[in-house]
Chains A and B, each alone.
Chain A
Amino acid sequence: MTDKADRTLRRAERDRIRVEKAEEWLRGSRYRTRRARRRLTVVGGGAVSLVWGSAVVCWFLAPSTTAMWTTFALGATALVVYGWAASVLVVAAQGVIGAGNAHLDERQQAERNRIYALAHRGTFWMLLATAAGMTLVRPGDDLVIEIPSAAALMLAVAVLVTHLTLPHLIAGWRAADPVLGDED
């Protein structure tokens, strides 16, 4: 066996053990129930909305120390809360999100396709809502909107973060309850 094939096999075995440990943890945790997972999904969605909040703060208050510290505080809170929520949601989704396509069976691949289709639709509505919101807040009939560069940056970050996190949130919301034990 070549070194490369040996490394690939060892990595696959490590991945398998890691997945089994994560699934074992899920079966024993309170997130094995749909209600708890959906509550966590809402918390994750709330964390993402903090990034949108900081964009709004920057829009109205930047450039100022208040806007800067509010952005840092909201960003750090969103990172910590979402980091925790996403790690649980990825485990709860049982590989549908996070694992490579080659590791998924037909059910998992079909579920992943549905999740990405829904996330794609969600991203479309988010972009539409952002465009509508920017049109509504423009002063008078001006065609040019002047906003602080920090707000433009935070808006772009918020759009990107939502685009990246939406599949996790949808996967967490839709995840079916795991089958407990082997023969229950």
Chain B
Amino acid sequence: MSAEEVHNRIPMLRAERGVSRKELATALGVHYQTIGYLERGEYSPSLYLALRIAEYFEVPMEVVFSLKPFPRLGSESQ
């Protein structure tokens, strides 16, 4: 794992809101492959793009991005 790896919940948020990669990319003004690379963890966004993603989903930034892996759904209740 890279020391600078930034984890994100973009795929989960997209699925929850029913937003396709292309729709999200169009809304953010980026190439749709960039969304794919973000989701695959192959690219860490700039602060500006990260803020715009959080703004798009109307959630605080720490809901979308984290330096630690997000817990799997259901693991917190166990």
Footprint of B on A, CB under 8 Å?
Answer: 94-95, 104-108, 176, 178-179, 182-183
Contact = CB atoms under 8 A, between A and B. Distances in A.
Interface centre among B20, B34, B40 (most CB of A within 10 A): B34
Interface string B10-36: 000000000011100000011111111
Name the prevailing secondary structure of the B interface residues. Answer: helix
A108 to B, nearest CB: 6
B37 interface: yes
A183 B20 CA distance: 7
Contacts of B56: none
A95 B31 contact: yes
Interface stretch (B1-9, B42-50, B68-76): B42-50
A108 B31 contact: yes
B21 A108 contact: no
Nearest to A181: B21
A107 B43 contact: yes
A179 B30 contact: no
Classify chain B's interface size: 20 to 34
Contacts of B20: 182-183
Interface centre among A94, A104, A105 (most CB of B within 10 A): A105
A105 B31 contact: yes
Contacts of B34: 105-108
Contacts of A182: 20-22, 32
Nearest to B45: A106
A138 to B, nearest CB: 48
B12 to A, nearest CB: 13
Nearest to B34: A107
A35 to B, nearest CB: 17
Nearest to A105: B30
Contacts of B39: 179
9 contacts: A94-B33, A95-B31, A107-B31, A108-B34, A178-B33, A179-B32, A179-B33, A179-B36, A179-B39
A106 B29 CA distance: 10
Nearest to B29: A105
Contacts of A107: 30-31, 34, 37, 43, 45
